Structure 1
Amino acid sequence: MSYLSIEFGLCFILFFLVYWSVCWSTRLQNVLLLAASYAILASFSLDFLYILLGYTALVYLLGLLSERFPGRSFVSGLMLLLVLGCFYLFKYQDFFTSTVQSAFAQLGLEVSLPLLEVLLPVGLSFYTFHSVSYLVSINRGELKPGSPFDLALYLAFFPSLIAGPVNRATDMLPQIRPTQARQVLEPQRALGLIALAVVKLFFLSSWLANEWVDPVFESSVSFSAEQILRSVYGYSFLIYFNFSGYTDLVTGIALLLGFRLPLNFNFPYTARNLKEFWGRWHISLSTFIRDYVYIPLGGNRRGVWRGNLNMLLAMLISGLWHGASVNFIIWGALHGVGLALYKLFSHWLPERPTWLGADLLARLLTFHYVAFAWIFFRCASLGDAIEMLGGLGGMSRAGLVSNGLSLLGCLLFVAIYPQIVALTRRLFDATVRLPWLLYPVPLGLFICVVIFASPSGVPGFIYASF
């Protein structure tokens, strides 16, 4: 069931009324939340629900083991075995099997490895990351094991089940068992976030996908270099609008249910370098990779060069997490190398340039590097990515004349993005100050107008496939 469908909207309104009708009992609210979360997962496939139930049981047992033997290497080994085993079985089995078979074939050996045909469960990557946070926190003595019910709700909590954000157990479990009765949090902001999500998902990302992005990425040979460049710019905006729109939506839903989800986006295209970009893009994932991959690898404790190697490995793992494909590995490597180069240059030249236009140039360079990496992220295969890059080399004066206005508009959008951000914040703050009784009516009318003006169909969530 799509969170943007009419069916989900009607079901959520009914659930919202029932949920707050038992506001005197947090336990009953939790039962309703878990039932709703499992029902949504089962609507995709009952098999996905069975997998989550089995995984929850194993995580609970490992949590008890972690509490009894804190800091023991065999407990960490079992945790790694569970997480990597699930990722391999459901997500990477085909990729690694075909890679090994191809390697043997190049040596003249025909090897047929067993391959199980299994579907990738919805939400696997996110509830796996949630379990890592839970188990590591127990192993470090930061958290006591939760009850089986609390753990089940933590892993299955439906606003963040499908595509994040990545929750931390130390932040989420206290919200599952609050010391006081829950209440709707910031209702006007919550509804404003949902309205903003509708604009980003139904209007902006859908229009970009239909008009600029999908036709070109499906067959770039049919388009000019200028149209390919426009589609690359378009995808850079599309993935931001789509994913940040999803985050706005589930953050608003969680606030209406009395929960706070972690900040996931902070206007990433205002970044002046890659380090700043990753401090603003998919923040819950980037901080997870930092805390649970980069720092355990050694971080920067062993010098600049070892720190850069650890950073590259962490970004390669991040790329591989997004999908079992050479393209995602290249995407991760590009960001890893870019971060390492930035770190070296900032070590040698610690002073930031202050001359006029330096910030604008830095933002444009960062945006174009990120956009270049998005080509590998979006293309279905390495051949498609190489084909698109080759197509970018044939720019002409006629092409620039016919597509120049849209290309200039993209660059202008990036150039004045900080001003757009400031204006958006002021408008959002102004709407939140409206009287509560007057708020729902114009908001509902605004949402209806946006949906009717948008391309037909319910938009999908790009990150739901990861």
Structure 2
Amino acid sequence: MLFPTATFAIFFLIVLPLSWLTMPWPHRWRPFIIAASYVFYSWWDWRFVLLLAGCTLWNQVLAVRIWRTTVQSRRRALLALALAGDLGLLGYFKYYDFFVSSGDNLASYAGLDLPLSLKSIVLPVGISFFTFMAISYVVDAYRGDFEPTTLEKFAVYLSFFPHLVAGPIVRPAELIPQISTPRDPRRVDTSRAFYLIATGLFKKVVIANYLASSIVDQVFATPGQHSSLEILIAVYAYAVQIYADFSGYTDIAIGIALLLGFQFPQNFDSPYAAVSVQDFWRRWHMTLSRWLRDYVYIPLGGNRRGRVLTYRNLMLTMLIGGLWHGAAWTFIVWGGLHGSAMVWERWRGERRGTAERHETTWTRWRARFLTFQFVCFAWIFFRADSFGAAWDMITGLFTRWGEPSPLVTSGVLLAIAVGIGSQYLPARIPRVVMARFSRLPVLGQATVLGLALMVTSVMGPEGVAPFIYFQF
């Protein structure tokens, strides 16, 4: 069930009032919202609801056992069992064919013939997101950071439909306390919710879909048939497309959660205004970045065990982050590029004796420009279907200048400029817009919102493509 569709609109118009009607009675609200979330998830394939329910029961039982067990060796064994189940689930559905095909290729180079076969397993939508949230729950229980809650509350936490299929990745301490206390409808920030939903829809339906259909899909499908200028603009267009697509989804998700009375963490903060790759990851998919830091980088040792191991931990963390995004070597290379850049930035800062400071306007804008170029170059491997396609894109950037470029239109350039330029707007502008919107009477708010949705519908292409991050 996609957010920007009539089906979801009908679903939400039913769920929203019933959620608020049952909210004063948590023993009624929690089963209702679990059922609604399972209906939402089952819209793709009802069988995966059983997978979600099994994951919920598995992690709840083991988290409670971990919390109640005092013998450290048993606690570690229970944690290992929980992680083995979660990672095994993710590994089977998402990585089985990848590992089998990679192993088969490696064996063929060695002259071996392994009896392995591909299964073409259907990837359950959102499995990477709810698996990581489940891991957070059991690891936080192991660390003593969060006491496991009831099965019913945990089921709401894991299946809550606004974040279920593409995040943001919400920690137990961020959401479960909200689930435990009935929300107050008088404290709902509707102006912010409507602003996020409207802007999220515009980013997805207008900017992301337009760039995908106008240039990105065509150039990445057959890079050898396009000029260097078209390839260059397609790379920039994809950078804007994936930002508009994913940040648009999370804006809508955060807005929908707000209307239901719940606060989600921010997931994007103008990532293309970053002054370094490390700064980019503080701004891009922020909930995943923090998850990787707290559950991968720090457990590996972080920066506590010397320079070389710090570099290793940075690289491993980013390689895992790349593999999380997709079961292909191109994603691993993408993660490796970011890991290499972060290692180099850290080495350069240590060599200078202090972290680099961008003290002038010129040095800051130069850092932004170089960071953006690097991020866009890395996106080539993220988007390309294979190394061959990525190499065709890279070589095409240098070998076909001067050829006709019919896909580089004023509309494409304008969409790219809007997507990047919007990230340099002062932070106070959205606050001012929301404040003025909140002062309008109810009829005025409804009129403005209706006009915004109508403009989005008119400007967007026919039909709505799935969100990019649904495949992860």
| 1:284-303 matched pairs, under 5 angstroms | 284-303=287-306
* 1:46-68 deviation per Cα after TM superposition (whole angstroms, max 9, x unaligned): 21001111111111111122112
Q: Displacement of 1:206 after TM fit?
A: 1.0
Note the residue ranges of structure 1 that are not aligned, 5 or more in a row. Answer: none
Match of 1:435 among 435, 440, 447: 440
| 1:42-441 matched pairs, under 5 angstroms | 42-69=42-69, 71=72, 72-113=75-116, 115-178=118-181, 181=184, 185-349=188-352, 350=354, 351-397=356-402, 419-422=424-427, 424-425=429-430, 428-437=433-442, 438-441=444-447
Find the aligned partners of 1:19 and 1:356 in 2 and give their Cα distance: 50
* 1:13-45 deviation per Cα after TM superposition (whole angstroms, max 9, x unaligned): 122122222332233222221111001111111
In the alignment, structure 1 residue 449 sits paired with structure 2 residue 458:
no
Letter in 2 for 1:378: R
8 A Cα contact 2:292 2:317, kept in partner = yes
8 A Cα contact 1:308 1:340, kept in partner = yes
Find the aligned partners of 1:81 and 1:369 in 2 and give their Cα distance: 36
Q: Cα–Cα, structure 1 residues 36 and 179, in superposed 2: closer, same or farther, change >3 Å?
A: closer
Q: Displacement of 1:398 after TM fit?
A: 6.1
* 1:366-393 deviation per Cα after TM superposition (whole angstroms, max 9, x unaligned): 0010000000001111111111111111
Letter in 1 for 2:377: F
8 A Cα contact 1:312 1:337, kept in partner = yes
Identity over the aligned pairs, expressed in percent? 37
Q: Displacement of 1:459 after TM fit?
A: 3.0
Q: RMSD in angstroms over aligned alpha carbons?
A: 2.3
Find the aligned partners of 1:140 and 1:292 in 2 and give their Cα distance: 11
Find the aligned partners of 2:297 and 2:183 in 1 and give their Cα distance: 37
Q: Cα–Cα, structure 1 residues 243 and 112, in superposed 2: closer, same or farther, change >3 Å?
A: same
Q: Displacement of 1:118 after TM fit?
A: 3.0
Find the aligned partners of 1:144 and 1:353 in 2 and give their Cα distance: 43
* 1:69-97 deviation per Cα after TM superposition (whole angstroms, max 9, x unaligned): 25532122112211221121111011111
* 1:110-140 deviation per Cα after TM superposition (whole angstroms, max 9, x unaligned): 1112554532112211111111111011111
Of the structure 1 ranges 21-30 and 254-263, higher mean CA displacement relative to structure 2 is found in 21-30
1:33 aligns with: 33
Using the size of structure 1 for normalisation, the TM-score is 0.94
Letter in 1 for 2:25: S
Q: Cα–Cα, structure 1 residues 402 and 81, in superposed 2: closer, same or farther, change >3 Å?
A: closer
Q: Cα–Cα, structure 1 residues 116 and 430, in superposed 2: closer, same or farther, change >3 Å?
A: same
Find the aligned partners of 2:251 and 2:420 in 1 and give their Cα distance: 24
